[in-house]
Chains A and B, each alone.
Chain A
Amino acid sequence: MKSPVLIAVVVVVVALLAYGLYQGLVVAPTEQTMGDVQRIFYYHVPSAWTAFLLFFTNLIASVWYLIKRTSAADAVAVTTAEVGVVFCTVVLITGPIWARPVWGIWWTWDTRLTSTLVLWLVYVSYLMLRRFSAGGQTPVLAATLAIFGFAVVPFVFLSIWFFRTQHPQPVIGGGGSIDPAMWRAVLWNWLAFSAFAGLLCWLRYNLERKQRDLEETLALEALMENAGDRK
């Protein structure tokens, strides 16, 4: 695995993450009312975007698997779901850390918070289904669940939006002027996080493929041994 390409990619990703950190902690100005705690947004928002991108990739890979039944599509699906859950967890942890000093509460059942939580629950259940189902059926069952998970997202958003309209609007995208340096920090970090997620997915994907090859080889060997015994 220690190919020069991999080493180059790791170096680039680390450099991007470091530059993103620099942009977020040093270059971006301190927010007027919230102070330095607002800087967690440079991790929070890019993680959320990355997680949603990964979940969307999971949906496409799942549909692709159901149409073409290729092992590679399923490997992409499991990889993106796992890495997506990790990034979604980061979102759910950094959110309350920010909310406690700013809103005075750790958690509120606001539309975006609750939708993200439900999305996280859906994908954790997806991973549990993969863990619990046996053998060759796993990809098909998981792919159908991924489609259900995607179909439910608009309902979650609509229902909770109607349920809790009185809650504070998110800072970014909620109107008002934002310093361009802050936007730059968000975008740089998004690039860095996406690259980092891509690297993780690549490694995880290779691992998954190797694991499958190994399983196939072992099954073949067992078959051949059985055939040898019979002679």
Chain B
Amino acid sequence: MSAPVALSEMQERQATASPAPTTWKVATASLFKDLRLEWRSKDAINSMIFFALLVVVIFSFSFDPTAEESRQIAGGLIWVAFLFATIVALNQTWAREIRNQVLDAYRASPAPPNALFISKALGNFLFVTVLEAVMTPLFMIFYNLKILGSPYLLLLVALLGTWALVVNGTFFAAISLRTRSREVMLPLILFPISIPALLAMVEATKIVLTGESAAKFWIVLLAVYDLVFTVVCLTLFETVLNAE
């Protein structure tokens, strides 16, 4: 029952404190807080990496990983593994802020809502990027892959694709936070919206791995997808954060 007291105290303090902090300041503060917590606990990154490893190993029993065709399906396998592992991280995004009513305190504070969203999305982006940096070489070894196209393009596809998953995922995690059985809800609402992005990532990765044709269409599609949904997320996040 200490929350209302804490809230009113905070509001009193705000009345006397300096003007509202900028989006950038709040976002970096929140991001560094999350990174420090993650650095000390390593909860998200450990569970993600182990989960992705399990998915990759289980896939290798379902398909013949050494066959020449594996190059064709590898793009799909790697992204499905990353997608599942991303869900693990996304589900933990807001859990910390629920304990001790941190989220309620944030809503009562003058800090811009989008700063919180940006910091959470960037945090997830970093976690998933680390996961990919660790898992991709392992995947290459397990599936005996060679990049026949440009490796820089693969990097670009990975960055754009990761942002596509993470920006919507962070937003939908905030939605599913307010539902019953929230861990189940997140993939149910995230996957349908992510289908075109996933298709673009898989196809672009396949093209780069096989070096067959140009991946330009898919990369442009991913970039536009990222742009559109980043704007949609930033426009609607305040509404979701303050949903009663």
CB–CB B199/A163 < 8 A? yes
Residues of A within 8 A of B189 (CB): 125-126, 128-129, 145
Report the stretch among A34-42, A52-60, A148-156, A176-184 that lies at the interface. A148-156
Interface of B is mostly: helix
* A169–B197 alpha-carbon span in the complex (Å): 24
CB–CB A137/B244 < 8 A? yes
Q: Does A158 make an interface contact (CB < 8 A)?
A: yes
Tell me the chain A residues, 155-200 only, with Cβ under 8 Å from chain B.
155-156, 158-160, 162-163
Q: Which of B218, B221, B243 contacts A137 (CB 8 A)?
A: B243
Residues of B within 8 A of A128 (CB): 185, 188-189
Residues of A within 8 A of B221 (CB): 155, 158-159, 162
Known: A140-B239, A144-B236, A151-B228. A132 touches B179 (CB 8 A): yes
Instruction: Give the total of B residues in contact with A, Cβ under 8 Å.
Output: 32
Interface string of A30-50 (1 = CB under 8 A from B): 000000000000000000000
CB–CB A149/B239 < 8 A? no
CB–CB A132/B180 < 8 A? yes
* A108–B125 alpha-carbon span in the complex (Å): 35
CB–CB B168/A156 < 8 A? no
CB–CB B168/A148 < 8 A? yes
* A129–B221 alpha-carbon span in the complex (Å): 28
In angstroms, how far is the closest chain B Cβ from the Cβ of A109? 10
Interface string of B170-196 (1 = CB under 8 A from A): 000001101111000100110111011
CB–CB B195/A129 < 8 A? no
In angstroms, how far is the closest chain B Cβ from the Cβ of A161? 10
Q: Does A104 make an interface contact (CB < 8 A)?
A: no
- Given contacts A129-B179, A129-B188, list 16 more A-B pairs with CB under 8 A: A129-B175, A136-B244, A137-B244, A140-B240, A141-B175, A141-B243, A144-B175, A144-B239, A145-B175, A151-B228, A156-B195, A156-B196, A158-B196, A159-B196, A159-B199, A162-B221
* 20 A-B pairs whose Cβ atoms sit less than 8 Å apart in the complex: A66-B239, A118-B192, A118-B195, A124-B192, A125-B191, A129-B188, A132-B179, A132-B185, A133-B180, A134-B178, A136-B244, A144-B239, A148-B229, A149-B193, A151-B229, A152-B195, A155-B225, A158-B221, A159-B221, A163-B199
